[in-house]
């Protein structure tokens, strides 16, 4: 099967209807590239065994840490190291964010809540 091109912003607009519900854009070795729209505030959580990368495609977000926050705009990239507690949140209406993480990574890490997504759709 030939590789398939995806326009991530168009796919996010057409196929992602809920904030903080990531969808899989593709698989890269044992990792996944996921796309999500962010909402007002997410759960505090950590990923004990996985680093997590965030690339803002549209809008602005903040990643809160217990000792401060990092604001990211379009084109900005940040890696949250494994074990570091954090909480993403939007700074603009439904920003679109690309995330890079192992395929086994649960979106809420070590915290379980109504925002936990165990079955991800594919774009």
Q: 16-68, pLDDT tens digit by residue?
A: 999 999 999 999 999 999 999 999 999 999 999 999 999 999 999 999 999 99
Tally Cβ neighbours within 10 Å of residue 107. Answer: 23
Residue 24, beta-bridge partner list:
34, 122
Domain boundaries, the chain: 8-122
Highest mean pLDDT out of 38-42, 77-81, 99-103 = 77-81
Res 64: pLDDT:
98
Identify which of 98, 83, 82, 78 has the alpha carbon closest to the alpha carbon of residue 37. Answer: 98
Highest mean pLDDT out of 88-92, 100-104, 108-112 = 88-92
Options 2.40.30.10, 3.30.2350.10, 3.20.20.150, 2.60.120.10; CATH for 8-122 is: 2.60.120.10
For the full predicted model, state whether its pTM sits above 0.85.
Answer: yes
pLDDT beyond 90 at 104 = no
Res 3: pLDDT:
86
């Amino acid at each position: 099967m030939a590789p398939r091109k995806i326009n991530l912003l168009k796919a996010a607009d057409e196929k992602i209807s809920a904030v903080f519900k990531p969808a899989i854009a593709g698989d890269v070795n044992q990792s996944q590239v996921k796309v999500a729209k962010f909402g007002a505030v997410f759960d505090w959580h950590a990923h004990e065994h996985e680093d997590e990368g965030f690339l803002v495609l549209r809008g602005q977000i903040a990643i809160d840490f217990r000792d401060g926050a990092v604001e990211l705009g379009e084109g900005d990239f940040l890696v949250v190291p494994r074990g570091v507690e954090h909480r993403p949140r939007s700074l603009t209406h439904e920003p679109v964010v690309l995330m890079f993480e192992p395929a086994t990574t649960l979106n809420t890490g070590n915290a379980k809540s109504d925002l936990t997504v165990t079955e991800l759709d594919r774009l």
